[in-house]
């Protein structure tokens, strides 16, 4: 009975969201748009009615990685704007599939697909719009090169199923780049059961820890943020628009490889997504799966991969270590969240960061994490509601720092 109740609640939420987006086709309501599109560029080949109903929380930057001839899937394709941009990127020999649950959005996208194809000089449309749900996609296994989604997955009641479906349809070696709304702390029940706020991309937001955890449970690796934009603060809960990328590794074995990996920094030690700990400057032999993992963009800049061990001393120019300034700490309301790809990292001031878990940091640590080597791995928020006038303190375990 409990499962039936949850299912009924999920169905009710889905209907409410779909109805709201269906009405937006005619009434022009703006829904969940922390960022916008370049209408001047897209308007060169996308009709105006499609541009008017384009919603999202981040431009799908994953499209910048598309190669001609690839197959792209858009989850929650709406009026088709991201699919049509993908169509331009993949070229006439590529293919794009858009999935949406709202009939009105699908009708709009299908109506304008022939015009987009003509404007791009294609003999026929290469976009296929299908009715379906994110947690039960009408797509074959292992077919997609790239999955995109723009502020849609937070609208799905069962995100675990969505992540599993993404992994199923992506080919080995494929990738996703999605934008979504996440929160710095769990959403309370009074917001979860507010159907109106589901359409505002609030009630369904997961924490970074749970979002990343769900993707890893589905099998994805190399999870990392691409961009992050503060959006709203409601009742002390910080909502941010985050764009992230992850990969479905090609099939590899755990057999030893001839490769050695040396962590260069800036972290003093890390735990990768396979659970292996690496210490800066100390080479370790890695298996084939780890070698494949470290070839991904978020890892490769942090390691030296070689056929022979490459130890690094503290004086080696390839070693990266960033120490805080010699000054007292000031607590200013800053919190930081490790956003991957590592499960755990440590800096040179004895802080341990666990992926997805907010950690309060002082002004000195805040400055360290804003240096270029650290910045891509962290999301920073400030929870101070009023001006902060805290006194400087000397670093030490008694003050909660270092």
> Considering only CA atoms, which of 269, 297, 270, 275 is closest in space to residue 287?
275
pLDDT value for 261: 97
Do 58 and 34 form a contact (C-beta atoms < 8 A)? yes
> What's the 3-state SS for 118-182?
HHHCCCCCCEEEEECECCECCCCCCCEEEEEEECCHHHCCCHHHHHHHHHHHEEEEEEEEEEEEE
pLDDT of residue 35: 57
pLDDT for res 401: 60
* Cα–Cα separations (whole angstroms), residue 311 to 49, 280, 316, 318, 346: 59, 9, 9, 10, 19
For residue 22, the model assigns a pLDDT of 44
For residue 268, the model assigns a pLDDT of 98
Q: What is the pLDDT along the chain (402 residues), one digit of tens a residue?
A: 345 455 555 555 455 544 444 444 454 545 555 556 777 888 899 999 998 877 655 556 568 888 999 999 999 999 999 999 999 999 999 999 999 999 999 999 999 999 999 999 999 999 999 999 999 999 999 999 999 998 889 888 899 999 999 999 999 999 999 999 999 999 998 888 876 665 667 778 999 999 999 999 999 999 999 999 888 898 899 999 999 999 999 977 777 778 999 999 999 999 999 999 999 999 999 999 999 999 998 999 999 999 999 999 999 999 999 999 988 889 999 999 999 999 999 999 999 999 999 999 999 999 999 999 999 999 999 999 877 766 777 666 555 565
Helical packing angle, 103-120 and 2-27, nearest 10°: 50
Q: Do residues 35 and 158 make contact, with C-beta atoms less than 8 angstroms apart?
A: no
- Measure the CA dihedral 196/197/203/208, to 10°: 150
What pLDDT shows up at residue 398? 54
pTM exceeds 0.95: no
At 21 the pLDDT is: 47
- Percentage helix, strand, coil for the chain under 3-state DSSP, each rounded to 5: 30, 30, 40
Domains and CATH numbers, the chain: 2-247 (3.40.50.150), 256-306 (3.40.5.100), 334-399 (no CATH)
SS3 188: coil
Q: Alpha helices, DSSP H only, in 170-233? A: 189-192, 195-199, 208-218
Please choose, from the candidates 284, 291, 351, 282, the residue with its C-alpha nearest in 3D space to the C-alpha of residue 313.
282
Distance CA 357, CA 341 (A): 13
């Amino acid at each position: 009975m409990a499962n039936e109740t949850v299912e009924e609640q999920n169905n009710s939420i889905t209907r409410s969201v779909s109805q709201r987006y269906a009405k937006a086709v005619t009434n022009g309501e703006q829904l969940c748009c922390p960022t916008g599109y370049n209408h001047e560029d897209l308007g060169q080949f996308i009709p105006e009615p499609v541009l008017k109903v384009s919603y999202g929380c981040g431009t799908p930057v994953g499209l910048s990685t598309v190669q001609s001839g690839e197959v792209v899937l858009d989850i929650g394709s709406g009026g088709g704007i991201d699919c049509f941009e993908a169509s331009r990127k993949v070229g006439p020999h590529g293919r794009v599939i858009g999935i949406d649950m709202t009939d009105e959005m699908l009708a709009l996208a299908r109506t304008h697909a022939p015009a987009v194809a003509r404007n791009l000089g294609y003999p026929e449309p290469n976009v296929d719009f299908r009715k379906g749900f994110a947690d039960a996609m009408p797509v074959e296994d292992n077919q997609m090169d790239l999955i995109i989604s723009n502020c849609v997955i937070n609208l799905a009641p069962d995100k675990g199923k969505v992540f599993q479906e993404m992994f199923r349809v992506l080919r080995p070696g494929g990738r996703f780049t999605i934008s979504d709304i996440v929160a710095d702390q769990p959403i309370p029940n009074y917001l979860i059961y507010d159907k109106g706020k589901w359409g505002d991309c609030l009630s369904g937001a997961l924490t970074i820890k749970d979002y990343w955890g769900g993707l890893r449970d589905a099998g994805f690796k190399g999870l990392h943020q691409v961009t992050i934009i503060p959006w709203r603060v409601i009742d002390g809960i910080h909502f941010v628009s985050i764009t992230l990328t992850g990969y479905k590794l090609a099939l590899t074995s755990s057999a030893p490889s001839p490769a050695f990996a040396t962590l260069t920094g800036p972290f003093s030690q890390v735990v990768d997504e396979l659970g292996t700990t690496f210490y800066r400057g100390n080479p370790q032999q890695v298996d084939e799966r780890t070698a494949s993992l470290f070839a991904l963009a978020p890892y490769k800049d942090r390691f030296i991969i070689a056929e022979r061990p490459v130890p690094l001393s503290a004086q080696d120019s390839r070693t990266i270590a960033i120490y805080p300034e010699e000054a007292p700490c000031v607590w200013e309301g800053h919190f930081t969240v490790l956003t991957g790809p590592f499960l755990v990292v440590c800096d040179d001031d004895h802080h341990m960061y666990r992926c997805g878990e907010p950690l309060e940091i002082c002004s000195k640590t805040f400055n360290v994490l804003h240096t270029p080597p650290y910045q891509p791995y962290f999301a920073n928020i400030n929870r101070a509601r009023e001006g902060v006038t805290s006194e400087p303190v000397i670093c030490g375990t008694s003050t909660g720092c270092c």
